[in-house]
């Protein structure tokens, strides 16, 4: 009886140890009764990743982080050991991505499955990636806005300084005068527009008549295109003839004739020749006048006394 009691106590102790070990590993996320596969990943930083953080595939937990420690080669890299309890095939180009699993900043690893034909084996090292934290995302989104706001404030400051330097008392006075001139210009423009409208209304019939005449002229020109073309052709022929004519020689001969005529007129003005003597010597004029008077007296006497000059005889 004593022997059975000792055996019962030993078996109970062993069972308690087994339950303790199983419970301890269960609380850590390990199931000692399932086959586990170990994978490794190397990061430059882990952003607060801790052992027992979950490992997910497409959002489903398939394992956990079993250890996080520095690389023994003292390079500063961090090695993360993962225990997976799934037989799901994982391609060799799968990426182990650290991301924030909740708003509190808890970290987890998501296995981004690749498309390689080969599968990763137990103890292999996965490629790694780190998702930016919420603060980093916010900073990345806010930083451009902050830069633009700073540039905008600088531009506004420059604009204010420019306004202060430009819009002084003299500039404001000149600006007021310019606006007054603009108002007067628009007023004159409105008055001119009104006058034009009135003119168009009062002269509508005349404008219509002018447009009819223009239309008639256009119709006439359209109907006489052939004649106009002939006129243009004739003008081109005349132009060609003038181009071929010896116009410079003609002008030279005309100039020579004018020079000769000028010489003749000069001689006449100097009293040379018969014409010059007639123009400058009135003796010939007087003699011709006396001859004309005597001829008139002779003709008068001939009319009054014809017998004196003509004798008639019948036998």
Task: Convert the pLDDT of each residue in 98-143 to its tens digit.
Answer: 988 877 778 899 999 989 889 988 889 899 988 876 566 566 677 7
Q: Is pLDDT of 306 > 90? A: no
Number of domains in the chain: 3
Does residue 233 lie in a domain region?
Answer: no
Radius of gyration of the chain (CA): 65
Stretch 165-186: mean pLDDT: 76
**Alpha-carbon span 198 to 303, nearest angstrom:** 85
Does residue 144 lie in a domain region?
Answer: no
The CA-based angle 82-83-87, given to 5 degrees, is: 120
Residue 81: per-residue pLDDT = 93
CATH of the domain at 113: 2.40.30
- Select from 106, 131, 156 the last residue of a domain: 131
Percent of the chain with pLDDT over 90: 10
- Select from 131, 150, 174 the last residue of a domain: 131
Residue 91: per-residue pLDDT = 92
Element (H, E) at 115: none
**Alpha-carbon span 76 to 9, nearest angstrom:** 50
**Alpha-carbon span 40 to 30, nearest angstrom:** 17
- Its pTM surpasses 0.85: no
b/e for 238-272, b at 16 or more Cβ within 10 A? eeeeeeeeeeeeeeeeeeeeeeeeeeeeeebeeee
Which two tokens mark 192? 């001119």
Residue 56: per-residue pLDDT = 92
Question: Is 46 found in the same domain as 110?
Answer: yes
Does residue 239 lie in a domain region?
Answer: no
Whether the CB-CB separation of 52 and 64 falls below 8 Å is answered with yes
Residue 269: per-residue pLDDT = 73
Q: Is pLDDT of 96 > 60? A: yes
Using left for φ > 0, alpha for ψ between -120 and 50, and beta otherwise, residue 225 falls in alpha
Question: Is 123 found in the same domain as 50?
Answer: yes
**Alpha-carbon span 124 to 39, nearest angstrom:** 6
Q: Cα–chain-centroid distance for residue 11?
A: 91
Question: Is 121 found in the same domain as 48?
Answer: yes
Q: Is pLDDT of 80 > 80? A: yes
Q: What is the chain's mean pLDDT, rounded?
A: 78
Question: Is 62 found in the same domain as 17?
Answer: no
**Alpha-carbon span 227 to 250, nearest angstrom:** 32
Question: Is 77 found in the same domain as 55?
Answer: yes
Question: Is 39 found in the same domain as 126?
Answer: yes
Does residue 113 lie in a domain region?
Answer: yes
Residue 315: per-residue pLDDT = 44
Residue 35: per-residue pLDDT = 66
Does residue 288 lie in a domain region?
Answer: yes
Q: What is the DSSP letter of 43?
A: E
Question: Is 104 found in the same domain as 21?
Answer: no
Higher pLDDT pick, 274 / 159: 159
Element (H, E) at 219: helix 204-223
Higher pLDDT pick, 44 / 163: 44
**Alpha-carbon span 301 to 278, nearest angstrom:** 31
Element (H, E) at 153: helix 134-166
**Which domain, by its residues, includes 264?**
247-309
The packing angle between helices 247-269 and 273-280, to 10°, is 50
**SS3 (DSSP) at 38:** strand
Higher pLDDT pick, 160 / 314: 160
Among candidate residues 87, 119, 108, 97, the one with its CA nearest the CA of residue 41: 97
């Amino acid at each position: 009886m004593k022997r059975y009691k000792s055996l019962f106590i030993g078996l109970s102790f062993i069972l308690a140890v087994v339950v303790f070990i199983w419970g301890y590993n269960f609380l850590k996320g390990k199931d000692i009764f399932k086959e586990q596969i170990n994978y490794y990943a190397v990061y430059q930083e882990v952003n607060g990743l801790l052992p027992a953080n979950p490992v997910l595939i497409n959002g489903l937990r398939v394992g956990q982080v079993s250890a996080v420690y520095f690389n023994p080669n003292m390079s500063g890299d961090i090695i993360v050991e993962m225990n997976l309890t799934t037989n799901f095939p994982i391609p060799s180009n799968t990426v182990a991505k650290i991301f924030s699993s909740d708003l509190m900043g808890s970290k987890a690893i998501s296995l981004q499955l690749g498309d390689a034909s080969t599968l990763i084996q137990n103890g292999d090292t996965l490629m790694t990636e780190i998702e930016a934290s919420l603060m980093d995302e916010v900073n990345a989104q806010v930083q451009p806005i902050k830069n633009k706001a700073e540039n905008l404030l600088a531009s506004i400051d420059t604009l204010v300084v420019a306004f202060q330097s430009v819009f002084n008392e003299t500039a404001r006075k000149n600006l007021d005068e310019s606006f007054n001139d603009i108002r007067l210009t628009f007023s004159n423009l409105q008055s001119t527009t009104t006058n034009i409208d009135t003119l168009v209304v009062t002269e509508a019939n005349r404008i219509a008549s002018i447009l009819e005449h223009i239309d008639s002229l256009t119709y006439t020109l359209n109907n006489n295109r052939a004649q106009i073309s002939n006129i243009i052709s004739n003008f081109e022929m005349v132009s060609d003839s003038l181009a071929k004519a010896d116009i410079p020689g003609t002008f030279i001969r005309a100039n020579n004739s004018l020079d000769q005529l000028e010489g003749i007129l000069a001689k006449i003005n100097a009293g040379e020749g018969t014409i010059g003597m007639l123009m400058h010597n009135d003796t010939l004029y007087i003699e011709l006048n006396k001859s004309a008077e005597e001829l008139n007296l002779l003709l008068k006497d001939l009319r009054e006394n014809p017998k004196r000059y003509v004798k008639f005889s019948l036998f």
